[in-house]
A = this chain, B = another copy of it.
Amino acid sequence: MSENKIPYKIYLEENEIPKAWYNMRADMKNKPAPLLNPGTLEPMKAEELSGVFCEELVAQELDNDTAYFEIPKEIRDYYKMYRPSPLMRAYRLEEKLGTPAKIYYKFEGNNTSGSHKLNSAIAQAYYAKKQGLKGVTTETGAGQWGTALSMACAYFGLDCKVYMVKVSYEQKPFRREVMRTYGASVTPSPSMETAIGRKILEKHPGTTGSLGCAISEAVEVATTNEGYRYVLGSVLNQVLLHQSVIGLETKAALDKYGIKADMIIGCAGGGSNLGGLIAPFMGEKLRGEKDYRIIAVEPASCPSFTRGTFAYDFCDTGMVCPLAKMYTLGSDFIPAPNHAGGLRYHGMSSILSQLYADGYMEAVSVKQTDVFEAAEQFARTEGILPAPESSHAIKAAIDEALKCKETGEEKTIVFGLTGTGYFDMVAYEKFHEGEMSDYIPTDEEIAKNIANLPKVE
């Protein structure tokens, strides 16, 4: 098909939704390091993990060898409500930039959760239902993950208990209300409902909470209530597996039109979107079949890839979860209060960390005001209002397209547009009002946190 026949939106057919998720680990020579028991520092066994997570998800978490996991029909049926998602050709942005580059973006925001998080939420809810559980617990910060999980639980008739960081609960009442519309109970964390919550409130009566504390409460409720398990929206191997549906569809759409990508760009917080988007491309690269530049984009204010250390660390600030080997800024690291652009996790998926350490990926960090400038330019040309997280990828894609303008190269850039910014207007407002700054942690601050990493040989 000739180049000028490529539509603005490439939609696959319903029967082209992938039938299996792809597990990058199967093609990695150096497998990601195992999770460690925080008490014994021994690799976590399935039996230990299955008190916290659903059994089939534990199996997915630990499986470094199976390349493809069949997507159950029930999950594929749900996917049909919002998938395949469109691969968009950014004709207008290209024109605006005056670049010879060809820019594509995979848009995951066309569902009520507003992001790609639903791809894994529906899978995790399905396995919980299949195991006969009553419900699941989780934490949420900004609320994308909590919303996605609420939708998935409503669909399968599961109880959904969300612990929402108190400051977000109060500042983002609309997110909370969306979750309630889907029948979830949303509790501001720390709460008096859990032992850990009561302990924290006793010690810090006025605290507005943290993600680490919310995780601890959600895990406590899951492990002390019959018929409940805990679920998580990023970082884990199982989540990257589910999110591979993004990359598989992207590749199918490109292949359909005979398009070869030169580079794949995604934003990276815990790695769920990036790991999903790049999966099949990375697979080809790992198997030596094709080459691509694969670029992770992170905020300069929370630069785990570009300034962190590759080491074992706690996944949560409460230090109740297993240790993971990853690029980390230390589990005490918290981005500066002015940081409004999401992607604030201190660590990074173990899979992506290993791939980065082995030289299969690049990483760049971008400043927050540059990110919002790119977001606004994108909104005005392409119409879609992007989430701040997604806008990190937009910024990097624009930078690469402008390099092509200088060199005259007609490269094909594919980036992930993970979601929409409807619930992020407070951040946009700060940007419009000139109240947004670009605080970047000093070397001393980062070194101080990293000095506290747990000692694992």
List A residues at the B interface (Cβ < 8 Å).
Answer: 7-9, 11, 13-14, 80-82, 88, 92, 110-112, 114, 151, 154-155, 173-174, 177-178, 180-183, 375-376, 379-385, 420, 422-423, 425-426, 428-429, 432
Give Cα distance in the complex from A302 to B408, angstroms.
60
| Inter-chain contacts of A183 with B (CB < 8 A) | 380
Interfacial chain B residues near A381, Cβ < 8 Å = 154-155
Contacts A422-B174, A429-B177 given; does A383 touch B7 at CB 8 Å: no
Q: How far is the CB of A257 from chain B (nearest CB, A)?
A: 13
Known interface pairs A81-B382, A154-B380; A432-B180 also in contact (CB < 8 Å): yes
Taking a contact as CB atoms under 8 Å apart, the answer to whether A379 and B7 are in contact is: no
A384 contacts which chain B residues (CB < 8 A)? 111-112
Cβ distance A146 to chain B, nearest Cβ, rounded Å: 14
Closest Cβ–Cβ distance, residue A253 to chain B (whole Å): 13
Do the beta carbons of A11 and B11 come within 8 Å of each other? yes
Give A8 to B13 CA distance when docked, in angstroms: 11
Alpha-carbon gap, A8 to B81, bound state (A) = 6
In the bound assembly, the distance between CA atoms of A72 and B82 in angstroms comes to 30
Interface contact A80-B112, CB-CB below 8 Å? no
Q: Write out the residue numbers on chain B whose beta carbons fall within 8 Å of the beta carbon of A92.
A: 81, 155
Task: Knowing A14-B8, A173-B425 are in contact, say whether A383-B81 is a contact too (CB < 8 A).
Answer: yes
Q: Which 6 residue pairs of A and B lie closest in terms of their CB atoms, listed nearest first?
A: A174-B425, A177-B425, A154-B380, A8-B80, A422-B422, A7-B14
**Neighbouring B residues of A173 by C-beta, 8 Å:** 425, 429
A161 CB, min distance to chain B CBs, angstroms: 17
Contact B383 A151 (CB under 8 A): yes
Smallest CB–CB gap between A399 and chain B, Å?
21
Q: Closest CB of chain B to A125's CB: distance in Å?
A: 13
Given known contacts A9-B80, A429-B177, is B14 in contact with A379 (CB within 8 Å)?
Answer: no
User: A182: shortest Cβ distance to chain B, in Å?
Assistant: 6
Listed by A's residue number, 14 A-B pairs whose Cβ atoms lie within 8 Å are A81-B88, A111-B384, A112-B385, A114-B422, A155-B381, A155-B383, A174-B423, A174-B425, A174-B426, A177-B432, A178-B428, A181-B376, A181-B428, A182-B379
Q: In the complex, what residues of B have CB within 8 A of residue A423's CB?
A: 174, 422
Q: Measured between alpha carbons, how far is A114 from B14 in the docked complex, in Å? A: 24
CB-CB nearest in chain B for A422 = B422
Cβ-defined contact, B112 with A379, below 8 A: yes
Complex contact A110–B110 (CB within 8 A): yes
Looking at A155, A376, A422, the one whose CB has the most chain B CB atoms below 10 A away is: A422
Having A155-B381, A182-B380, one finds 14 other A-B pairs with CB under 8 Å, namely A7-B80, A8-B80, A110-B110, A112-B384, A114-B422, A151-B383, A154-B380, A155-B380, A174-B423, A177-B425, A177-B426, A178-B425, A180-B429, A183-B380
| C-alpha gap A11/B178 in the complex (Å) | 27
- Which residue on chain B has the smallest CB distance to residue A12? B11
CA distance A420 to B147 in the complex (A): 15
Q: Given known contacts A9-B80, A173-B429, A379-B112, is B385 in contact with A181 (CB within 8 Å)?
A: yes
A112 & B81 in contact (Cβ 8 Å cutoff): no
Give the residue name and chain of the B residue nearest to A147 (CB): B385
**Measured CA separation A180–B432 after assembly (Å):** 8
Chain B residues lying within 8 Å of A80, measured Cβ to Cβ, are 7-9
CB-contact partner of A178 in B151, B181, B385, under 8 A? B385
A4 to chain B, nearest CB (A): 13
Tell me the bound Cα distance from A259 to B151 in angstroms: 30
Are B428 and A177 within 8 A (Cβ)?
A: yes
Minimal beta-carbon separation of A34 from chain B (angstroms): 36
* B residues in contact with A111, CB < 8 Å: 383-384
Q: Among A155, A182, A379, A420, which residue has the most Cβ atoms of chain B within 10 A?
A: A379
**Which of chain B's residues have a CB closer than 8 A to the CB of A177?**
425-426, 428-429, 432
- CB of B382 within 8 A of CB of A181, answer no
Neighbouring B residues of A432 by C-beta, 8 Å:
177, 180-181
Rounded to whole angstroms, the CA-CA distance of A7 and B88 in the bound complex is: 21
In the complex formed, the residue of B with least CB distance to A112 is B385
Min CB distance A236 to B, Å, is: 24
